[in-house]
Each structure stands twice: as C-alpha cells, then as structure tokens.
Amino acid sequence: MKKTDAYIRRYEGCMTDCVAYYLNLHPENVPLFVKFGKGWSKKFRAWWKKRGYIVRWDLCEKPPKRGTHIIVGDSLVWKKYSHMVVYRNGKLVYDPAYPSEWKGNKITHRLIILTP
C-alpha cells in the first residue's frame, strides 16, 4: 500500500503539525519531514535555517517551565517511533493526536530553536 500525503499527515505528521503550530503556519505550508527518510534531519535543519533559525536536538526528561518548546517522546502507539507535542511554560498546549493521551512520562528530547 502506498501511503498518500493525506494519510501521512493524519497518522505520521506530528512533526510537521508541531512545527506549524510553533511557527503559526498552516500545516500544508510545512513539509512532511517523515517523507524524507534517510537524511531527514539535515533537510529539517536546512528548512529552519532558510527561515532564520538554528535548531538542534537536546536530551531532556521534563519540559522547561518557561517558554514554548517542541518536545519529543516515545510514541504511545508505535514501538519504534517517536511522537511530538508542544509545551508552553511546562504545560502541554498542543498534541496533534486528538484526543490527546500524552502524559509526558516518555519525554526524551526537545528541539532547541535559536535565532542567529
């Protein structure tokens, strides 16, 4: 079965959705990063850089208490995958998977977003 963009956006597009939420963009204006396969991270960083940001991943177990952060953790559904959500001031504000079952106990990373 070939996955359509609509399928990917609905079931595998949490990264795209969280980036769109963070930047206040429509998700269709953000690439489906998961489609890049190998090399996705380099293309992900280049996409941010083109918009004036420098990004990198940082290990973390709890979301910072201040600011808005894109947080990554183990998927609640797929064993070998991750899930991405957005926190603001230490509280979950956006989960692309509705209704949210995210509990925050599986956080592994956060995206550091810097302006040069």
Does the predicted TM-score (pTM) go above 0.85? yes
CB 13 within 8 A of CB 27: yes
Q: Nearest 5°: phi and psi at 101?
A: -115, 10
Q: Is the peptide bond before 31 cis (omega within 30 degrees of 0)?
A: no
Average pLDDT over residues 33-43: 81
CA angle 98/95/106 to nearest 5° reads 110
Q: How does residue 85 score in pLDDT terms, banded at 50, 70 and 90?
A: very high
Task: Name the more confident of 1 and 115.
Answer: 115
Bridge partners of residue 94, in order along the sequence: 86
